[in-house]
Structure 1
Amino acid sequence: MMLEPILKSMHILLVDDNPNNLKVLSQAIQGCGWKILMATDGESAIEQAEYCDPNLILLDVMMPGIDGFEICRRLKANFITKNIPVIFMTALADATDKVKGLEIGAVDYITKPFQKEELIARLKLHLNISHLTHTLEQRVEERTIELTQSLQKLQNTQLQLIQSEKMSTLGQLVAGIGHEINNPIGFISGSCSHIEEYMNDLLRLVNLQQQKLPHPDPEIEELIEEIDLDYLAKDLPKLMESMHQGIDRLKDISLSLRTFARSDILSLVEFQIHEGIDSTLMLLKHRLKDQGDRPTIEVIKKYGMLPLVTCYPGQLNQVFMNLIANAIDALDESNTDRSFEEIKSHPNRITITTSLKELNVEVKIADNGIGMSESVKQKIFDHLFTTKSVGKGTGLGLAIARQIIVEKHGGSIECNSSTEQGTEFVILIPVRQ
């Protein structure tokens, strides 16, 4: 009963080469409230079906030119009309013709001469079925969209939880390491200053003794020769200089750890993007240097003049870490069949370019590795997608990177790549949130 108002708004296409038959059919069903469309040949029927999209087609089998079977085949082969139900009308009693019609897509048969009540009942039945099928398809489509949206929200929430947990854990770990490193660095640095002072005093004393006592005891001369005093006096300052350089390196690493691990998750702060990139490169220096089977990966920095950016520094550093580490992986993969000398003649390079684009900071991280195919490029930001072997990639890095840039900072991240042409990631971050 609830379908009656809906059925009255439906369109039925009547197809028969005999105008009298069309008149009889339309008179038989005119009281049902359906809108009647008519066609007297196959081409006209197909054209009207495409243009008017009727809810049902009542189709005569025996027609000159294109018969009903061929019309039905064409309707079912057409993307626009394939789902319109077709009922054949025929005076034939041969069962094989009915089977043939059903096999090519018809939903029912009405035999001439027809009974008005039977005709209307069959039309109502198939209009009901068509409407319910269409409604069900709509509901399935709507439900699919809802489930897709729910899955996307779930994945985003999962990424946020993973990213927050990683940043929290990483921040605590790195901050702790940085603090632990600082104490011995301070002690060693202070001790080295005293050692250098004591060393210089002792060397002055030895020089003075040599000047005042030009003919020392033979036992002393023997010891001087044994320890090679001249070499020792020249090498000790060099050793102290190396120790100072090592201490400075440790201080840089400690500073990089603290810069990288800044986990200002709850509040936005002003941050110099170059500091984040430099701290990331410092922490990845061990992967960039000569590995024995390949030369050092060259890092070319093309820094522009950037203002301070309002952002979450720890999260941006995580993005830089992921992109640069991925670039190193891609370069190592491209070296599989290349010798040390071949790589040296065509060096591995990572180029980092920064610039100010109106109200956005642009960061480009490019490598000259193997690149990626178009199909892979379309999926790289997908949740859990990875091209790395088991145990080497989670498929979360770039998904989290996109979430940090797009959702957390209102920016954008794009990938430009093609096979054997390297890969470039382009990040845009608003200067002010």
Structure 2
Amino acid sequence: MPSSLSVESTPITADILIVDDTPANLRLLSDMLQTQGYGVRKAINGTMALKAVRSLPPDLILLDINLPDMDGYQVCEALKQEPAFKPIPVIFLSALSEVEDKVKAFGSGGADYITKPFVLEEVLARVEHHWELAQLHRQLTAKNQDLETALLQLKKTQAQMIQQEKMAGLSQLVAGLAHEINNPVGFIAGNLSPALDYTQILLEVIARYEGELPEPSPQLQDFLAEVELDFIRTDLPQLMQSMRTGTERLKSLLLALRIFAHLDESEVKQVNIQESLDNTLRLLEHRLTTDPAMGTPVRIAITKEYHPIPRLTCYGRKLNQVLLHLLNNAIDALRQRPDPEAGLTIRLKTYAAEDYCWVEISDNGIGIAPEVRSHLFDPFYTTKPIGQGQGLGLATSYQIIVEDHHGILDFTSEPGVGTTFKIGIPTDLLRDT
């Protein structure tokens, strides 16, 4: 007979499952554990034990080895094969005291082993010990989950800070370029018109001299033939006009840069999303032709399907970041096609539907492999070669659209066919023009 209890009762609440085919043992263990404040359930065979665990997992199991239908080793092994039940401590109870029996018990997943006839104080001490270990394990698991969440948040914050720093640097660069380039461009543009007028006057003067002096000296005739005056007379106006066109292009790029960075404007403003798309494309004009190293350069075609939408009240500069990232990714995907002669196209579409303002950016590039799609919006994840990407573009785009604008950023893709990214901004962020 086991000795009388001498351990003080403690206010511990735990659900314990006792599995034993001997009613006396069940009653004795149950009374002792309930006296100590534990909740107790009972099972008389392995099948009942497995059903009891699956219906409501206990905090700890006292398991006899010799059971009528399946032995305790089999019950323990079955439980440990299921991830949800693997952490539950199993304490074996058995009259078998050989080393081989204990090794087999631990090998099947047992946490402890008590031989019969057992001393109740020992049972209680081991139960309390393993219950405390189980609690510590749960706390450790919870803290690990908290750490994983904190790490993910840290990565997101780090990515956001890096991207903000990059955009701050870009804004400063744009401001400097706009200031330094704007003055000489303005000077050139302002002087091109009178320069063209002066050119016309000089050509007219030459023409009148030719009329007044139809027979120039042989030396002058030789000089005129050497400098090809007739060619200069034809080409000089065209050259001046080309300079004017180039200057207008420079002014257009400066305007696009200012609009892209939203210099000297509030962070939240009304934006014409179609103009933003066009301005971003203007900045990427130099990338819309494939690399000559691929062979004959191929021009990327742009098709637009702009349906009328109101101006969008949003973080204009941040939204331009998203458009820039997605268009750059589309160009990269097209440049990697092995058959560019088949035709490279980016399709832009804007429309309002289902309480959202939608922007679609589609390409017929190489597509996205299925194994990387679940990681596409993770910070610092990239499929590009080292030095060609930091894995921040899509992660930052997701944060800007989903978190900052409470919108939707999604994509569909088929390898070898192409990819479509969809941006959805709730219509309650829209204002009438």
TM-score interval, normalised by the smaller of the two chains: 0.7 to 0.9
Partner secondary structure for residue 325 of structure 1: helix
Query: In 2, distance between residues paired with 1:144 and 1:3?
Result: 32
**What amino acid is the match of 2:335?**
D
Contact kept, 8 Å, 1:260 with 1:276, in 2: the verdict is yes
In structure 2, relative to structure 1, the CA distance for the partners of 1:309 and 1:28 (3 Å cut) is closer
Please show how residues 406-417 of structure 1 align to structure 2 within 5 Å.
406-417=402-413
Unaligned runs of 5+ in 2: 1-6
Please show how residues 93-242 of structure 1 align to structure 2 within 5 Å.
93-112=97-116, 114=117, 118=119, 120-211=120-211, 214-242=214-242
1:252 CA displacement: 0.9
**What amino acid is the match of 2:394?**
L
Contact kept, 8 Å, 2:19 with 2:45, in 1: the verdict is no
Query: In 2, distance between residues paired with 1:29 and 1:177?
Result: 79
Question: Aligned residue for 2:75?
Answer: 71
Which of 3, 12, 18 is the matching residue for 1:13? 18
Partner secondary structure for residue 53 of structure 1: coil
Query: In 2, distance between residues paired with 1:2 and 1:92?
Result: 30
Query: In 2, distance between residues paired with 1:290 and 1:374?
Result: 26
Which of 403, 421, 425 is the matching residue for 1:425? 421
1:223 CA displacement: 4.2
Contact kept, 8 Å, 1:303 with 1:354, in 2: the verdict is yes
Q: Could you list the per-position Cα deviations for residues 71-124 of structure 1 after superposition, in whole angstroms to 9, with x for gaps in the alignment?
A: 333333344544444444444454433332333233444444x25xx1x22332
Contact kept, 8 Å, 1:271 with 1:313, in 2: the verdict is yes
1:193 CA displacement: 1.0
Which of 331, 338, 343 is the matching residue for 2:340? 343
Question: Aligned residue for 1:317?
Answer: 320
1:174 CA displacement: 0.9
Q: Could you list the per-position Cα deviations for residues 188-225 of structure 1 after superposition, in whole angstroms to 9, with x for gaps in the alignment?
A: 22222112212222333344444455555555444444
Query: In 1, distance between residues paired with 2:398 and 2:231?
Result: 58
Query: In 1, distance between residues paired with 2:309 and 2:172?
Result: 29
Partner secondary structure for residue 310 of structure 1: strand
| Normalised TM-score (structure 2) | 0.85
In structure 2, relative to structure 1, the CA distance for the partners of 1:278 and 1:97 (3 Å cut) is same
Percent identity between matched residues is 39
Contact kept, 8 Å, 1:167 with 1:263, in 2: the verdict is no
Contact kept, 8 Å, 2:63 with 2:93, in 1: the verdict is yes
In structure 2, relative to structure 1, the CA distance for the partners of 1:287 and 1:60 (3 Å cut) is closer
Contact kept, 8 Å, 2:93 with 2:114, in 1: the verdict is yes
| Normalised TM-score (structure 1) | 0.85
1:169 CA displacement: 2.1
Query: In 2, distance between residues paired with 1:110 and 1:248?
Result: 91
Query: In 1, distance between residues paired with 2:63 and 2:291?
Result: 77
- The size of the alignment, in residue pairs, is 420
In structure 2, relative to structure 1, the CA distance for the partners of 1:105 and 1:159 (3 Å cut) is closer
